[in-house]
């Protein structure tokens, strides 16, 4: 018997003062059977950080040729490829050739990844690497339920997640490149 993906109904009230984005969005995201809660939370936060009306979740873990998230224009061309986790340099380089913007949202103990992998694509100017702090991301992941409503505020490279009961602040650390001002 094959395990099925678990659907999560997400509502995000996004206030991104850094980019001038103010939206309330609802979507369903599938959690792959082998995906951890922390990775799912990182994908949802990446959606908020890079929000654009044409941003969508890829098949992720079930299809390695797709991004975790991507923004497609009206012709179907990839405008922004977003990976979550610690992809190898070859994947980052390949994705950076397929889209004008390529971003990686890193989480977990990534010090070694940063030292060994980032220098292999340091010459690429269209790649942005953001790191989410592990302790705070773990707290956010614990708040993720099958029906989640979060307020997400981004201001001065700080991410604030509120679920009505508690607010968690996550500093966004840029390890490479720059966060695209407008996508």
User: At 51, which CATH number?
Assistant: 3.10.640.10
Report the predicted TM-score, pTM, of the whole model to 2 decimal places.
0.93
Total number of domains constituting the chain: 1
**Residue 183 covered by a domain:** no
Residue 130 near residue 30, CB atoms below 8 Å: no
Q: What is the pLDDT of residues 70-91, one digit of tens each?
A: 999 999 999 999 999 999 999 9
In a domain, 1, yes or no: no
Rounded to whole angstroms, how far apart are CA atoms 34 and 19?
A: 34
Q: Is residue 87 part of a domain?
A: yes
Distance, in Å, from the CA atom of 17 to the CA atom of 105, rounded to the nearest integer, reads 20
Q: What is the pLDDT of residues 27-58, one digit of tens each?
A: 999 998 889 999 999 999 999 999 999 999 98
> Does residue 182 lie in a domain region?
no
What is the residue range of 110's domain? Answer: 7-176
Reduced to 3 states (helix: H, G, I; strand: E, B; else coil), residue 27 is strand
pLDDT (0 to 100) of residue 59: 77
Q: Is residue 134 part of a domain?
A: yes
Q: Are 172 and 130 in contact (CB under 8 A)?
A: yes
Would residue 181 count as lying in a domain?
Answer: no
């Amino acid at each position: 018997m094959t395990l099925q993906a678990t659907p999560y109904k997400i509502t995000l009230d996004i206030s991104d003062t850094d980019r001038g984005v103010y939206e309330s969005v609802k979507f369903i995201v599938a959690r792959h059977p082998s995906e951890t809660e922390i990775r799912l939370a990182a994908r949802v936060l990446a959606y908020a950080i890079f929000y654009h009306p044409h941003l969508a979740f890829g098949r992720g873990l079930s299809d390695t040729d797709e991004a975790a998230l991507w923004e497609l224009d009206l012709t179907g061309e990839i405008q922004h490829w977003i990976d979550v986790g610690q992809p190898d340099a070859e994947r980052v380089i390949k994705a950076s050739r397929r889209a004008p913007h390529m971003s990686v949202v890193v989480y977990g103990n990534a010090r070694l990844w940063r030292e060994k992998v980032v220098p292999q694509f340091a010459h690429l100017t269209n790649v942005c690497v953001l790191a989410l702090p592990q302790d705070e991301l773990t707290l956010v992941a614990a708040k993720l339920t099958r029906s989640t409503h979060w307020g997400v505020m981004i201001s001065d490279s700080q991410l604030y997640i509120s679920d009505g009961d508690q607010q968690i602040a996550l500093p966004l650390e840029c390890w490479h490149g720059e966060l695209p001002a407008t996508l």
